[in-house]
Chain A
Amino acid sequence: MVQAKAQRESSPLLSVRNLRTSFQVEGRWTRVLNDVSFEIGNRQTLAVVGESGSGKSVTAMSIMRLLPPATSRIEGEVLFRGRDLLKLPSEEMRRIRGSDIAMIFQETSLNPVYTIGFHMVETLRQHRNLSAAEARREAVALLDKVRIPSAASRLDDYAHQFSGGMRQRVMIAIALACNPKLLIADEPTTALDVTIQAQILQTLRDLQAEEDMSILFITHDMGVVAEMSDRTIVMYHGDAVEEGETRRIFAAPGAPYTRSLLAAVPRLGEMAESPGPSRFPVIDRATGAVVTPAASGSVPDGSAPIVLQVEDLVKRFDIHGGTFGGLTGRVHAVEKVSFDIREGETLSLVGESGCGKSTTGRTIMGLTSPTGGSVRMEGREIGSLGRRELRMTRRRMQMIFQDPISSLNARMTVGAAIAEPFLVHKLGGKAQARDKVAYLLERVGLRPDMANRYPHEFSGGQRQRISLARALILDPKLIIADESVSALDVSVKAQVINLMLDLQSQLKLSYLFISHDMAVVERVSHRVAVMYLGEIVEIGARAAVFGNPQHPYTRKLLSAVPVADPDQRGQRRVEAGELKSPVRAVDFVPPGREYREVSAGHWVQLADNRSW
């Protein structure tokens, strides 16, 4: 008896052997998982990491048997506490789901017409046979457990009354309702801001210790892996290319693919020594050999001419409401933002969602008209220009968008899309346009004969290259990149960034790089401006802002970034808190702000008594 118990203690909680999953696509069976095997011990966290299409989510869905049985086939063994889940009758499997094994996803799946309490009470009564009153008490206890402030009073709120981070906490609380032994978390923090992500990760870690459960953590983010997991599996095209202790994988990656993946991950703090941006090293994913080593990008000298000058830029959006559609408030999206960018320089705007960084870019570009302030492009005030001159000046700056799918017209060939601005600005004839398109396609690493294809034939990274080529055809001086690499996989992201850096040094381009990703920003920028609620709270040389952050919000942001280095885990704690809203009453007058110069060119907003 005692022996049997001991044996159960030592045997792994979940042991997956030769898991093979195939999908039926148009009548043919296609293998998407090849003999994946791993084990998760008690209280262990296993991370499954990989890029899109690597099969990491399919692994989780296969374990839970959540794939449609008609079009999918799962083979192998999934032993959960010694029982093979793949052989259980579906009725029994349903009982295990949600009680012994719980799952949380990237998108929270709360029905908007029911209260949070309803969701939780329903789950508790179903799985644990509690009375209504008991279930309610238990629900409050669970919300407390996932650190939702004043849990009892929030039980009767609806999902939309919670922020994204709070909703994810509710989902975790529901998952915990039946004391699961295993929690499968599929990209649970991908849609969240970094500070919120840090809080959720911390909560998960704390809960793991309290609840004595194991976690299967699926993610694409090496930083999150380093932060969370004891063991890691690296997936690539349906194969587990490497499995092992997380520390070991980061310190000495064995598989060539792991090596190339890790090389493409920016690590916060690794750039402290160099003043300029730096290319990612390129590593062959088949052999693991270094193709091109990391290299520093160019650094413009102080005498380079100023390309863009933004002064006291203000953008507010009116909110109308009430019976007669009167003005009820204003969104202070951008509040007195000033900066300038020199030739060949990259200035990054960083901040979390809703901080006004995208609106700043769009206002500079003229996609929305500013409420106040001035934007000067190469010395010419944009607001004062006539239509014709405005068009001429606009040619000098271009924008690259986030979504590689929707930023190209699906019904135009790539060549026609790139050539269009050239032709409508009458910069030359059709033959010249064709030559220039071919030249630019080569320049961004594609082939000239690809001009006759349609956007759907290209991958996300290739489409961002096409967008770059389209922006470059007007020979701009400044490119505004609005989260341009955020939607790309790690390795593709590294390649597009390398391309952007190459173009910068060859063409003396200036970039306004708008991003929420601190690690990428550290890699690409010369200077950084941190935005919070529409204002720049800190601006300066990249090395100064990252190395010597002065503003409390900058510090908070930096400490929230998961660092792709397991040795640095758990050294930082992030205070719980939500991003405040930039919506103000109609008569709100923004307070005057003062800035202090920390070192040459490094300015920080004097903190008021807001809590950060």
Chain B
Amino acid sequence: MTQVPDQTPIPAAGPVGGATRGPWARVARDFARSPLAMTALVVLALVVLAAVFAPLLTPQNPYDLMQLDIMDGMLEPGSPSAAGGYTYLLGTDDQGRDLFSAILYGLRISLSVGVVAALVAALVGASLGLFAAYVGGRTETAIMRLVDLQLSFPSILVALMILAFLGKGVQNVVLALIIVEWASYARTARGTALVESRREYIQAADCLGVPMSRIIFRHLLPNCLPPLIVMATIQVARAISLEATLSFLGLGVPVTEPSLGLLISNGYQYLLSGQYWLSFYPGIALLVTIVAINLVGDQFRDVFNPKGRG
């Protein structure tokens, strides 16, 4: 730290360090303070990488019937394949599908559904919330009553109704999740924006003749982001588990694109007959993913909330 000498006689010169760091750099530094959160972040990164590079990491494509060998059906974890060449690390299902491969492919579906749903919901919800806060009046009332209405129904019920109406399918699940989740973003965004828009820098921008759209996107939005980021992180986990629930109930993704939830559901009938691995390992994968995301989200919340720091 080199103290920069002040040219002017300003005695109370701030703690001006050598290098300049933006607010986001500070967030990164504070985030790295917690070993638990860093572990969770690493685990999450591994999970995401495993899902992205699933074709390279798995011995077979579990949904290419040509690669399955019915003779390998219901093998315990660690069994070698009949044709040789590789080991079924986590066992196989009744069609000889390698469960490890199925889990990685399932992660792809689960993660992409969760992330896409959470991000689109965040975009829609946050825009509506910011708009409501800045415009006010009847528009605000209309949007916020819609939010109240949406939030007064249990999300699983709403999602089930939508899917019963639209039918199965990855897109339909994503759509259902967006409809279920946008409202909570809108509420958070409006609350934060109401506080921020009374701050003096917004008024200063007003005085300086900065146009409204620029005030909303350059000034209001970046300062409302912290709570929204926390929420989006945790909502990804929520979306994944909701998708798993829907798939488990048979209303989620189709059998041709099985997610972790569907894998659990498929193995469920064998759970008590000794083939525990069919449900157990997909369940562990789901658990690890969700816990890692939640830990990362919790740390974000602590970093962004100065009051939370002791």
Chain A residues packing against B (C-beta within 8 Å): 51-53, 282, 284-285, 291, 365-367, 391, 394-395, 398-399, 401-403, 406-413, 420-421, 424-425, 445-447, 452-454, 456-462, 467, 470-471, 474, 489, 491-492, 495
Contact = CB atoms under 8 A, between A and B. Distances in A.
B7 A458 contact: no
B223 A458 contact: no
A457 B204 contact: no
Given A406-B199, A406-B201, A425-B209, A492 B11 contact: yes
A420 B11 contact: no
A412 B211 CA distance: 17
A470 B206 CA distance: 13
B83 interface: no
Contacts of B20: 452-454, 457
A241 to B, nearest CB: 13
B222 interface: yes
Interface in B11-31: 11-17, 20-23
Interface of B: 7-17, 20-23, 199-201, 203-211, 214, 218-219, 222-223
Max chain B CB contacts within 10 Å: which of A366, A402, A457, A460? Answer: A457
Given A421-B208, A425-B209, A470-B204, A457 B9 contact: no
B201 A408 contact: yes
Nearest to B16: A457
A453 B16 contact: yes
A82 B209 CA distance: 65
B10 A367 contact: no
Contacts of B204: 399, 401, 407-408, 467, 470
B12 A394 contact: no
A200 to B, nearest CB: 28
A461 B12 contact: yes
Contacts of B14: 456-459, 462
Nearest to A292: B9
A312 B104 CA distance: 74
A454 B15 contact: no
A410 B23 contact: yes
Which 3 interchain pairs have the tightest Cβ spacing? A445-B8, A421-B208, A407-B200
A507 B17 CA distance: 33
A420 B208 contact: yes
Contacts of B21: 454
A470 B12 contact: no
Given A408-B204, A457-B17, A491-B12, 18 more contacts: A53-B12, A394-B209, A398-B208, A401-B200, A401-B203, A406-B199, A407-B200, A410-B223, A412-B218, A413-B22, A447-B7, A454-B23, A457-B15, A459-B14, A467-B204, A471-B208, A495-B9, A495-B10
Contact of B203 (A52, A282, A367, A474): A367
29 contacts: A53-B12, A291-B9, A366-B207, A391-B209, A398-B207, A398-B208, A401-B200, A401-B203, A402-B200, A406-B200, A408-B201, A409-B201, A409-B219, A410-B223, A420-B218, A421-B210, A424-B214, A425-B209, A445-B8, A446-B8, A447-B7, A453-B20, A457-B17, A462-B14, A467-B204, A474-B208, A492-B11, A492-B12, A495-B9
A459 B13 contact: yes
B290 to A, nearest CB: 31
Max chain A CB contacts within 10 Å: which of B201, B206, B211? Answer: B201
Contacts of A460: 12
Contact of A407 (B15, B17, B201): B201
Nearest to B20: A453
B12 A459 contact: yes
A53 to B, nearest CB: 8
Contact of B207 (A394, A410, A489): A394
Contacts of A411: 22-23, 222-223
A491 B208 contact: no
Contacts of B16: 453, 457-458
Nearest to B223: A411
Nearest to A492: B12
A456 B57 CA distance: 46
B210 A462 contact: no
Contacts of B203: 367, 399, 401
B10 A445 contact: yes
A502 to B, nearest CB: 12
A524 B9 CA distance: 20
Contacts of B219: 409, 412
A497 to B, nearest CB: 13
Contacts of A53: 12
Contacts of A457: 14-17, 20
A489 B17 CA distance: 22
A446 B204 CA distance: 21
A95 B24 CA distance: 48
Contacts of B210: 420-421, 424
B5 to A, nearest CB: 10
A52 B14 CA distance: 13
B10 A409 contact: no
A31 B84 CA distance: 71
Nearest to B26: A456
A492 B14 CA distance: 12
A395 B210 CA distance: 11
Contacts of A462: 10, 13-14
Nearest to A392: B209
A403 B207 contact: no
Contacts of A467: 204
B176 to A, nearest CB: 34
B12 to A, nearest CB: 4
Nearest to A449: B4
A130 B13 CA distance: 53
Contacts of A495: 8-10
A51 B12 contact: yes
A461 B222 CA distance: 25
A370 to B, nearest CB: 16
B138 to A, nearest CB: 13
Nearest to B222: A411
Contacts of B7: 445-447
Contacts of A453: 16, 20
Contacts of A408: 201, 204
Contacts of A421: 208-210
Contacts of A394: 207, 209
Nearest to A445: B8
Nearest to B23: A411
Contact of A367 (B12, B199, B206, B222): B206
Contacts of B218: 412, 420
Contacts of A471: 208
A452 B21 CA distance: 9
Contacts of A403: 200
Nearest to A52: B12
A399 B9 contact: no
B22 A454 contact: yes
A456 B12 contact: no
A437 to B, nearest CB: 14
Contacts of B9: 282, 284, 291, 495
A402 B204 CA distance: 11
A461 B209 contact: no
Contacts of A285: 11
Contacts of A282: 9
A399 B205 CA distance: 10
A471 to B, nearest CB: 8
Contacts of B200: 401-403, 406-407
Contacts of A398: 207-208
A26 to B, nearest CB: 10
A209 to B, nearest CB: 38
Max chain A CB contacts within 10 Å: which of B12, B20, B21, B218? Answer: B12
Nearest to A454: B22
Contacts of B11: 285, 491-492
Nearest to A257: B11
Max chain A CB contacts within 10 Å: which of B8, B10, B13, B207? Answer: B207
B29 to A, nearest CB: 12
